[in-house]
Amino acid sequence: MDYSQFGSMIPELIVLGIFMVVFLFDTFSGEKGKKILTPFATILFLLGTIAIWIVPASGEEIFGGMYINNTATNAIKAILNVGVFIVLLQSAKWVQSDEVAIRKGEFYELILVTLFGMYLMVSARHFLLFIIGLESASLPLAALVAFNKRHYESHEAAIKYIMTAVFSSAILLTGLSFVYAFSGGSLYFSDIALNINQGEMSGLLIAALAFVIAGIGFKLSLVPFHLWTADVYEGAPTAVTSYLSVISKGAAAFAFFIIFVQCFGTVYSDAWEWMMYAVIILTITVGNLFAIRQKNMKRFMAFSSISQAGYIMLGAMAADTLGLASMIFYIFVYIVSNLGAFAVISSIEDKTGKLSMDDYNGLHKTNPYLSFLMTLAMFSLAGIPPFAGFFSKILIFTSVTGTGSWALYMLVLIALINTIISLYYYLLVVKAMWISPDEPKIEKFESGRCQKVSFFLCGAGIIFFGVVPYIYQYCYDAVVNSSDVIASIMVFVFR
């Protein structure tokens, strides 16, 4: 075996390297060393993130085409890294708290391991590698969800999460075994695409695709596979909730796109277009309707993130270059907006332990900057210009309507009507903070320094990266320059 092939896995090596350093540092350092673990890990991660942004993708397929590191995968990895960095900043305060301080090394290690798994998911071109990535991304997450050892909600959430994760993996594997049946005995994406084209449509294929959608749908919390979401989000520590809601969702969405366009692109209109059509409509609508009645901010964000996942998956419906570019851009914007909201939620939770929307009444009187950031985040999630959320929504809608079919037009219409519903409940938060006449329930307080940096990053991301088209251009170029994605899309366009 040619070990030099590992040299192409630069992002993975970087994350693995950071993991090793943090692990060894955590294991062998004394009391003093433990104190600087948080800044050490955060800064190391920042350097890694910068490295991934800078180092160009090799574009090589290695291990016989099992793994690829091209510009598109590099782009999504870089964007996920930015999100993880913000999560680390937000959690800096929480990991220092008495309850978890002793285990904070584990927190960073588990985060890095799951991130490594997501990298493999994104880069996999063979289902075996994909499954390895998926598992190493989801099992350590369960440990993270249970991180608040002394809270039974956290345990309950972890049990729920691990049960659904394992169950969904089982379903996914069943689906893949069906796929294996008619792919001519190969699990390479390219082989599957070739062989499915030759075979004729069968009930088995439909079942296989349904199982695969269900399996990945659990990760993305698409309706009807979303039932775990609200409870897990509520029970998990807030830092983990924000990690779950953006990072693991972003990676799964990208992987979904690649799998469905590369393996099953040739049976798009026969087999999975209508399935995804129904799933997306359900996801957006159900997520929105349930979010209206939530009073707990974490549950509220859970349902809001369900409906946002539906919008992300619209990119898969478009299934072309613009679709993928808009999807990556949407993931980026969703990361900064959602983390902006979670920055406020977690900072308030750290200080006061309050999580109910009613507690936010009159927040602007005591904490004007927090309310301002929360307002920005809510507007961005609702898709209000000039904030980034508007651009990501409109670009993804543009890519979906580009296919020119009436059915997709109607899908966009439904999605647009849903943005109005979502605007309603996002405005409820704004209303609580700015309009409610009640006396503020949260005292004035200073957030930690790291949290302030994360406020700044999220706020700047929301304000600037819509108006400045740099990130979108970056995503688009990344997609256009990654030849294997383009090749599969081209096959798919002239099907």
Residue among 394 and 486 whose Cβ is closer to other proteins: 394
User: Tokens standing for 150?
Assistant: 């002394």
- Listing DSSP states for 284-297 in one string gives HHHHHHHHHT--BH
Q: How far is the CB of 417 from other proteins (least distance, A)?
A: 6
Q: How far is the CB of 65 from other proteins (least distance, A)?
A: 29
Helices (H), 248-296: 249-262, 273-292
End-to-end CA distance of the chain: 37
Site string for other proteins, 314-333 (x = CB under 8 A): --------x--x--------
Residue among 148 and 392 whose Cβ is closer to other proteins: 392
Q: For 59, left (φ over 0), alpha (ψ -120 to 50), or beta? A: left
Q: Is residue 474 near other proteins by the rule CB under 8 A?
A: no
Closest CA to 373 of 283, 461, 264, 491: 461
DSSP 224: T
Which SS3 state, helix, strand or coil, does residue 126 take?
A: strand
Q: How far is the CB of 469 from other proteins (least distance, A)?
A: 5
User: To the nearest 10°, the Cα dihedral for 364, 365, 367, 372?
Assistant: 20
Q: How far is the CB of 419 from other proteins (least distance, A)?
A: 6
The residue behind tokens 């949260």 is: 442
Whether the ω angle into residue 39 lies within 30 degrees of 0, i.e. cis, is no
Q: How far is the CB of 285 from other proteins (least distance, A)?
A: 14
Q: Is residue 424 near other proteins by the rule CB under 8 A?
A: yes
d(CA 98, CA 378): 32
Q: How far is the CB of 54 from other proteins (least distance, A)?
A: 23
With CB under 8 A as the contact rule, the residue among 401, 452, 464, 486 that binds other proteins is 401
How many residues bind other proteins (CB under 8 A)? The answer is 33
With CB under 8 A as the contact rule, the residue among 274, 409, 445, 456 that binds other proteins is 409
Q: How far is the CB of 220 from other proteins (least distance, A)?
A: 24
Whether the ω angle into residue 368 lies within 30 degrees of 0, i.e. cis, is no
Residue among 237 and 389 whose Cβ is closer to other proteins: 389
The residue behind tokens 């937000």 is: 90
Residue among 377 and 384 whose Cβ is closer to other proteins: 384
Closest CA to 37 of 47, 27, 50, 51: 27
Q: Is residue 39 near other proteins by the rule CB under 8 A?
A: no
| Contacting other proteins within 170-229 (CB under 8 A) | none
Q: Is residue 419 near other proteins by the rule CB under 8 A?
A: yes
d(CA 294, CA 4): 53
The residue behind tokens 């969800």 is: 145
d(CA 372, CA 343): 12
Residue among 110 and 314 whose Cβ is closer to other proteins: 314
With CB under 8 A as the contact rule, the residue among 147, 303, 472, 492 that binds other proteins is 472
With CB under 8 A as the contact rule, the residue among 94, 260, 334, 390 that binds other proteins is 390
Closest CA to 391 of 460, 464, 479, 316: 464
Per CB under 8 A, the segment of 91-99, 153-161, 255-263, 420-428 that binds other proteins is 420-428
Q: Is residue 417 near other proteins by the rule CB under 8 A?
A: yes
Residues that bind other proteins (CB under 8 A): 322, 325, 379, 384-386, 390-391, 394-395, 397-398, 401-402, 404, 409, 412-413, 416-417, 419-420, 423-424, 427, 430-431, 434-435, 469, 472-473, 476
